[in-house]
């Protein structure tokens, strides 16, 4: 079997013996035609892109209006994360918890070994060393993904610090997360995303979709990292990270957790409305944050990723002008439609109407949406006009506020503040949201999504909340915790809040709370602004709508907390006493 790089590699960095042995083991199992160690160089990316373009697997887009950009089309049955096929395989089933699908590690290994046997015959095995986080950050962690998909390699190169530098760090660290991936035959009957946190290993078979196949992202940076974080005393969370510069010249750092496809990317790239001059929002991350208690008692965050895998539909000059501009070059689009000018098309994209749908068929309204609702763009964070240089800070940034949110048409007000960290853990554990197209299954159904981590916590939520409480206890200056809801609707189903750039008004109140200058009224669910505490200069909203957005229906909230209490029961003894007490106190305040 030949080891034949796509392009001649420069002097290969020292390969740790454990990595070399693992690659040889996988090679013997999967029987590829060749092995390629990825360096992450521009020449390598160009060669892989040309190879995929030659096979018609990447379609070059309009070279004038979208230079360097391509369209990939997935198998029609492979367009989202598959939570029902995603497993956490721990020795003790209770460690995975009722929040995860579980399989015994031995059974899972046996199943996956059979699937991977000979799976790369005739294909190239790519070895993809990557680093999650700035390459010289003590908080960064490395992994190696072995994959037979050049599309995955190209995406990993954008989403992570991939290649020789990562390999050098792995050689220094002596440890890495092992991720094995093959697209297999894309048969959903043979599709499994398995996690072995005790072995720091991932095995993913039968899907090429981002969250299932780019193993640095959800599999490593959330499921495996959350397990590592618990052992090591930090948190791996489904959160965007922003720097907010105030007109007075102060900078605040905020982390916010929302379920998939609920606007994290838009909030991370927010453009202030004209009515709030002097503010600036800069993006550190749009999806994942690793949070570490720092030596000064504050919580420090890094974004482990270096790119965005964003939802295309809805990305428009109104919703997210920064994203709209950043994806006009050197971007990989997946499952969007095309217009007659060979430009990518989705709702909000502008340009001419769609002529080819996401499956490559002539567009016909009767066939459904032109662009898949979960169609995506993959793009380097450095192309973002609002890119924050702090994204490369090895020590991360100190967090002033953590915001939880969900997509809820009723109940949850526009914003409220938890009483303290422990109450904030209760607020986070109660996050619920209407499901979206980011995961396979029905869309628009309300489900509990604690800390927006339901699909991503790599261990029992009972242990996870206990860990959250213990991290708070170690912080001398914990961030304040808030909950927001941009998605409240009136009786006719119309959104009550304009959202997008106007969300800065809510962030401004939050920062006013952090720095002590802004008022709040105490309510049974936490602290809330009175209408006058929110800056509504130039805001087009009726006083009635604002009142509704800032109201608390105590009866409905009692029902909500009672339902949360019933959800908690499934965690039995793993549920921390501190969280039970918080729930009892919250109910008492509503009595
Ligand atoms: C994502 C997701 O792609 O949450 O970020 O599904
Ligand atoms: Mn996400």
The reply to whether ligand 1 has any atom less than 6 angstroms from the CB of 287 is yes
- Residues in contact with 398: Cβ distance below 8 Å, sequence separation at least 6, in sequence order: 253, 294, 296, 298, 299, 300
pLDDT surpassing 80 at residue 586: yes
Q: Would the CB of 289 count as within 6 Å of ligand 1?
A: no
Cβ-proximal residues to 497 (8 Å cutoff; 6+ apart), any chain: 414, 486, 487, 488, 541, 545, 549
Domains of the chain, by residue range, sit at: 9-59+81-233, 237-307+390-590
In angstroms, rounded to a whole number, what is the distance separating the alpha carbons of residues 563 and 40?
49
Give the pLDDT mean for 472-500: 96
pLDDT at position 261 is: 84
Q: Partners of 242 in the beta sheet?
A: 254, 283
Taking the centre of ligand 2 as the mean of its atom positions, its distance from the CA of residue 270, in whole angstroms, is 17
Nearest alpha carbon to residue 145 among 163, 135, 130, 164: 130
For the Cβ of 39 lying below 6 angstroms from any atom of ligand 1, the answer is: no
Residue with the smallest CA separation from ligand 1 atom 1 is: 260
In contact, 279 and 246? CB cutoff 8 Å: yes
pTM above 0.85, yes or no: yes
pLDDT value of residue 13: 59
Ligand nearest the Cα of residue 310 is: 1
How far is Cα 486 from Cα 473, in angstroms, rounded to an integer? Answer: 30
574 pLDDT above the threshold of 60: yes
pLDDT tens track for 72-119:
999 999 999 999 999 999 999 999 999 999 999 999 999 999 999 999
* Separation CA 326–CA 66 (nearest Å): 10
CA distance 358 to 335: 5
The enclosing H or E element of 554 equals helix 554-569
Ligand nearest to the CA of 439: 1
Q: Residues within 5 Å of ion ligand 2 by Cβ?
A: 260, 287
- Is there a contact between 9 and 35 (Cβ–Cβ < 8 Å)? no
- CA of residue 234 to ligand 2 center, whole Å: 19
Best CA proximity match to 285, nearest among 437, 133, 403: 133
pLDDT tens-digit readout, 522-549: 999 999 999 999 999 999 899 899 999 9
Question: 152: closest CA among 48, 64, 81, 248?
Answer: 48
Q: How far is the CA of 80 from the centre of ligand 1 (A)?
A: 9
Q: Is 211 in the pocket of ligand 1 (CB under 6 A)?
A: yes
Q: Is the CB of 81 under 6 A from ligand 1?
A: yes
CATH architecture of 237-307+390-590: Alpha-Beta Complex (3.90)
Residue nearest to atom 3 of ligand 1 (CA): 211
124 CA to centre of own chain: 29
Which residue owns the Cα nearest ligand 1 atom 2?
A: 260
Distances (CA, A) of 182 to 80, 159, 215: 16, 19, 11
- Atom number of ligand 1 nearest to Cα 455: 4
Ligand 1 atom nearest the C-alpha of 238 is 4
Q: Which ligand 1 atom sits nearest the alpha carbon of residue 376?
A: 3
Judge whether 298 and 310 are in contact, CB under 8 Å. Answer: no
Distance 372 CA to ligand 1 centre (A): 15
Taking the C-alpha atoms of residue 168 and residue 15, their distance in angstroms, rounded to an integer, is 8
What span, in angstroms and rounded, lies between the C-alpha atoms of 76 and 21? 36
| Residue 452 Cβ < 6 Å to ligand 1 | no
219 in active site: no
Calpha distance 26→36 (Å, rounded) = 13
Distance CA 262, CA 400 (A): 22
Q: Which atom of ligand 1 is nearest to the CA of 210?
A: 3
How many angstroms separate the alpha carbon of residue 501 from the centre of ligand 2? 21
User: In ligand 1, which atom is closest to the CA atom of 264?
Assistant: 5
DSSP structural state of residue 270: -
Ligand 1 proximity of 239 Cβ (cutoff 6 Å): no
Burial of 393 (0-12, 13-18, 19+ CB in 10 A): middle
Ligand 1 pocket, 454 CB below 6 A?
no
pLDDT of residue 1: 41
* Per-residue pLDDT at 444: 87
pLDDT at 9: 46
Question: Which of the residues 38, 131, 219, 262 is marked catalytic?
Answer: 262
Please give the Cα distance from 78 to 206 (Å, whole number). Answer: 9
pLDDT digits (tens, 9 = 90+) for 411-420: 999 999 999 9
Give the distance (Å) from ligand 1 centre to CA of residue 439: 8
- Report the alpha-carbon distance of residue 91 to residue 199 in Å, rounded: 11
526: phi then psi, degrees, rounded to nearest 5: 145, -165
What is the distance between the alpha carbons of residues 224 and 459, in angstroms, rounded to a whole number? 9
Residue 155's nearest CA partner among 334, 378, 331 is 378
Integer Rg of the chain from CA: 23
Length of the chain: 591
pLDDT-derived band of residue 48, with 50, 70 and 90 as boundaries? very high
Domain 9-59+81-233 in CATH: superfamily? Phosphoenolpyruvate Carboxykinase, domain 1 (3.40.449.10)
Contacts of residue 384, Cβ cutoff 8 Å, sequence gap at least 6: 269, 283, 308, 322, 323, 326
Predicted confidence at residue 3, as pLDDT, reads: 44
């Amino acid at each position: 079997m030949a080891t034949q790089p796509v392009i001649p590699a420069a002097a290969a960095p020292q390969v740790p013996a454990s990595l070399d042995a693992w690659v040889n083991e996988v090679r013997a199992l999967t029987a590829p035609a060749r092995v390629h160690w990825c360096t992450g160089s521009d020449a390598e990316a160009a060669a892989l892109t040309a190879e995929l373009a030659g096979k018609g697997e990447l379609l070059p887009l309009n070279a004038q209006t979208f230079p360097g950009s391509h369209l990939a089309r997935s198998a029609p049955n492979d367009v989202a994360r598959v939570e029902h096929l995603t497993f956490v395989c721990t020795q003790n089933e209770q460690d995975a918890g009722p929040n995860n699908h579980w399989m015994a590690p031995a059974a899972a290994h046996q199943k996956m070994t059979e699937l991977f046997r000979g799976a790369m015959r005739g294909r190239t095995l790519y070895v993809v060393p990557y680093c999650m986080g700035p390459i010289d950050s003590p908080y960064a962690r490395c992994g190696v993904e072995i994959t037979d998909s050049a599309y995955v390699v190209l995406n990993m190169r954008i989403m992570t610090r991939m290649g020789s530098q990562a390999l050098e760090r792995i050689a220094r660290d002596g440890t890495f997360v092992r991720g094995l991936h093959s697209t297999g035959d894309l048969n959903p009957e043979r599709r499994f995303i398995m996690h072995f946190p005790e072995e720091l290993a991932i095995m993913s078979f039968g899907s090429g979709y981002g969250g299932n196949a780019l193993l640095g992202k959800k599999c490593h940076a959330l499921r495996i990292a959350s397990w590592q974080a618990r052992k090591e005393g930090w948190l791996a969370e489904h959160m965007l990270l922003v720097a907010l510069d105030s007109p007075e010249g102060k900078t605040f750092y905020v982390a916010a957790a929302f379920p998939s496809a609920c606007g994290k990317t838009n909030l991370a790239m927010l453009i202030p409305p004209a009515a709030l001059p002097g503010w600036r929002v800069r993006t550190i991350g749009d999806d994942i944050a690793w949070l570490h208690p720092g030596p000064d008692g504050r919580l420090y965050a890094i974004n482990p990723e270096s790119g965005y895998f964003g939802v295309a539909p809805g990305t428009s000059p109104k919703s997210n002008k920064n994203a709209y501009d950043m994806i006009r070059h050197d971007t990989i689009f997946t499952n969007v439609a095309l217009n007659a000018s060979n430009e990518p098309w989705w709702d909000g994209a502008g340009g001419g109407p769609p002529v080819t749908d996401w499956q490559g068929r002539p567009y016909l309204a009767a066939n459904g949406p032109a662009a898949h609702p979960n169609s995506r763009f993959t793009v380097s964070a450095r192309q973002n006009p609002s890119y924050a240089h702090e994204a490369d800070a090895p020590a991360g940034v100190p967090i002033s506020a953590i915001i939880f949110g969900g997509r809820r048409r009723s109940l949850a007000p526009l914003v409220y503040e938890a009483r303290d960290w422990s109450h904030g853990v209760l607020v986070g554990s109660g996050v619920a949201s209407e499901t979206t197209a980011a995961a396979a299954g029905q869309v628009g159904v309300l489900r509990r999504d604690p800390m927006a981590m339901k699909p991503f916590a790599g261990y029992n939520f009972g242990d996870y909340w206990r860990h959250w409480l213990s991290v708070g206890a170690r912080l001398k200056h914990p961030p304040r915790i808030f909950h927001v809801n941009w998605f409240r609707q009136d009786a006719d189903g119309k959104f009550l809040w304009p959202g997008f750039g106007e969300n800065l008004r809510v962030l401004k109140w939050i920062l006013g709370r952090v720095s002590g200058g802004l008022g709040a009224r105490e309510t049974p669910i936490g602290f809330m602004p009175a209408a006058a505490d929110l800056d509504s200069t130039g805001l087009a909203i009726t006083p009635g709508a604002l009142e509704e957005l800032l109201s608390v229906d105590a009866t409905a909230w009692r029902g909500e907390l009672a339902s949360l209490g019933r959800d908690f029961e499934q965690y039995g003894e793993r549920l921390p006493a501190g969280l039970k007490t918080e729930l009892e106190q919250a109910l008492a305040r509503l009595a």
